[in-house]
Amino acid sequence: MTYTIEGKTGAWEIVVGLEVHAQVISHSKLFSGASASYGGEPNTHVSLVDAGFPGMLPVLNQECVAQAIRTGLGLRARINLESRFDRKNYFYADLPTGYQISQFTHPIVGEGTVEIELADGTVRHIGITRLHMEQDAGKSMHDQDPARSFIDLNRAGVALMEIVSEPDIRCPEEAGAYLRKLRQILRYLGTCDGNMEEGSMRADVNVSVRKAGEPFRTRCEIKNVNSIRYVMHAIEVEATRQIEVWEDGGEVDQETRLFDPSRNETRSLRSKEDAHDYRYFPDPDLLPLVVEQEWVDALERGLPELPDDKRDRFVKEYGIPRYDASVLVAEQAIADYYEEVAKGRDARLAANWVTGDLFGALNRTGRTITDSPISAAALGGMLDLVSDKTINGKIAKEVFEDMLETGDSAAAIVERKGLKQVTDTGAIDAAVADVMARNADKVEEYRGGKDRLFGFFVGQVMKAMAGKANPAMVNEALKKVL
């Protein structure tokens, strides 16, 4: 089913490609020894190289290259054993050397693919055109003084990976799914923290529209969108704008636009005529980057299990539904938590508890899996009590809530509250007899054919036994006497 937007002249398809800038996790910057860490007082993480002092030269940071290769491998992409660095020349106050070192013609990573899954279960493959390394610029601050601008070079020279997708995305939902998946892969790999609010991952969105079967029409680029939700909004808003332009007999200009979330519109930033001529040329301070296949192989061997592989393994190994598996592998920490709970236990039951009660509890308490109030071992301990029939499912919910509140172990709570399940047939039979005696009319109705009253009797017996009776045994006892 193709996503379309209805215009005056009929249905329009949208075509989207994304350029994601992902800040590389590394100790130091791409070409200098200065710290690459976020925060810090302005201009405290700046070397003479970053500040572009006369005679300073860039020296490539090997760890950043390793991170780019790991990411390429994670995107199932071709690793180019030879790549090059170019200079992208433009003047701006937060660009100390007057050029950004980037990989223009020969990126380190070539074509790859990202598998996304939509809400209706559809699986799509989004092509990756390339991934290249480049330097970040510094930060201009125009709001500190009425007359002057201030520059913070802490970020100048920090390594970025620009990940460019093919124009394979056809609706906002796919764009969202792609970005979430990309972020998930980067986080699994430990190559980017994917934190869009802090700007360590940001997206440029290329949007065009067309009628079914047409070749691509002119695209516009929406720069620097900093949340997944905004990307999805921006696509819809921009596509709608373009459709109006075309339908009014106009022509969409190739230009760079900005998305304004407060007004839910995109605005022209600069047209193609005003586009910078970046005068790219190979950086003569850096030799071509040549990496050995053996090193790439070693990096590949060191990669963690990636989310798609983990999901498939969960389905196979734990026999849980694909949807549950997808939810559980969303984050490495969740997957690890689940595996600790599931190991040697009823894996389906474990999945239900993690995705159900645990996620609910985390939501309510505003916690994440890494600071979960109930550890995987504690939740496993509770499931053990369910499996060995010490408690039943209903009591388990009560125990879980208690664990959440007190942090006590399930066993301690069961002990303290005397919640151990009753499996004494004598006590159950007695409770059954008592309920029958007090509800003789209902017994008559049941025997007269009103089958659904059976649930009522079960409830009455469980209530009489404070919920602690073994439900299967209650069923059996009731069937016998009824």
Residue closer to another protein by CB (options 4, 43) is 43
416 binds another protein, rule: CB under 8 A: no
Residue closer to another protein by CB (options 281, 323) is 281
Tell me 358's DSSP state: I
285 binds another protein, rule: CB under 8 A: yes
Residue closer to another protein by CB (options 204, 283) is 283
> What is the sign, positive or negative, of the torsion defined by CA atoms of 467, 472, 477, 482?
positive
Residue of 11, 81, 93, 290 interacting with another protein (CB under 8 A)? 93
User: What is the residue whose two structure tokens read 């071509």?
Assistant: 288
- 170 burial class (0-12, 13-18, 19+ CB within 10 angstroms)? middle
- Cα(109)–Cα(72) distance, rounded to whole angstroms? 6
Question: What number of residues does the chain have?
Answer: 482
Using CB under 8 A as the binding criterion, the count of chain residues that bind another protein stands at: 30
- Cα(364)–Cα(88) distance, rounded to whole angstroms? 48
Residue closer to another protein by CB (options 285, 424) is 285
57 binds another protein, rule: CB under 8 A: yes
Residue of 12, 13, 29, 58 interacting with another protein (CB under 8 A)? 58
279 binds another protein, rule: CB under 8 A: yes
147 binds another protein, rule: CB under 8 A: no
Stretch that binds another protein, among 276-284, 341-349, 361-369, 458-466 (CB under 8 A): 276-284
Residue closer to another protein by CB (options 279, 463) is 279
281 binds another protein, rule: CB under 8 A: yes
Q: How many CB atoms lie within 10 A of CB 155?
A: 23
User: CA torsion 58→52→136→29, rounded to 10°?
Assistant: 50
Task: In angstroms, give the least distance from the CB of 22 to another protein.
Answer: 25
Closest CA to 126 of 76, 87, 92, 69: 76
Residue of 7, 52, 199, 373 interacting with another protein (CB under 8 A)? 52
151 binds another protein, rule: CB under 8 A: yes
Backbone angles phi, psi at 210, to 5 degrees: -160, 160
Q: Give CA separation, 377 vs 223, 401, 445, in Å.
A: 46, 16, 48
Task: In angstroms, give the least distance from the CB of 41 to another protein.
Answer: 17
Residue closer to another protein by CB (options 46, 203) is 46
459 binds another protein, rule: CB under 8 A: no
145 binds another protein, rule: CB under 8 A: no
Residue of 17, 72, 74, 96 interacting with another protein (CB under 8 A)? 96
Residue closer to another protein by CB (options 153, 477) is 153
Residue closer to another protein by CB (options 93, 298) is 93
DSSP 6-58: EETTEEEEEEEEEEEEEE---SB-SSSSSB--S--STTSS--TTTTT-TT---
Q: Could you say which residues in the range 203-222 bind another protein, by CB under 8 A?
A: none
51 binds another protein, rule: CB under 8 A: yes
Residue of 21, 70, 84, 87 interacting with another protein (CB under 8 A)? 87
- Cα(472)–Cα(480) distance, rounded to whole angstroms? 13
- Cα(289)–Cα(31) distance, rounded to whole angstroms? 13
48 binds another protein, rule: CB under 8 A: yes
Residue of 89, 326, 423, 439 interacting with another protein (CB under 8 A)? 89
98 binds another protein, rule: CB under 8 A: yes
CA 265 to chain centre: 26
Residue closer to another protein by CB (options 51, 235) is 51
Task: In angstroms, give the least distance from the CB of 355 to another protein.
Answer: 51
Residue of 60, 330, 361, 458 interacting with another protein (CB under 8 A)? 60
Going by C-beta distance under 8 Å and a sequence separation of 6 or more, which residues neighbour residue 477? 425, 428, 429, 432, 461
Q: How many CB atoms lie within 10 A of CB 419?
A: 21
DSSP strands (E only) in 38-141: 82-83, 86-89, 99-102, 112-117, 123-135, 139-141
Stretch that binds another protein, among 262-270, 274-282, 301-309, 463-471 (CB under 8 A): 274-282
Residue closer to another protein by CB (options 98, 360) is 98
Question: Which element (helix H / strand E) includes 223?
Answer: strand 220-225
- Cα(221)–Cα(209) distance, rounded to whole angstroms? 13
Task: In angstroms, give the least distance from the CB of 18 to another protein.
Answer: 25
Residue closer to another protein by CB (options 216, 281) is 281
450 binds another protein, rule: CB under 8 A: no
- Cα(360)–Cα(354) distance, rounded to whole angstroms? 9
Residue closer to another protein by CB (options 149, 271) is 149
| Binding positions for another protein, rule: CB under 8 A | 48, 51-60, 87, 89, 91-93, 96-99, 149, 151, 277, 279-281, 284-287
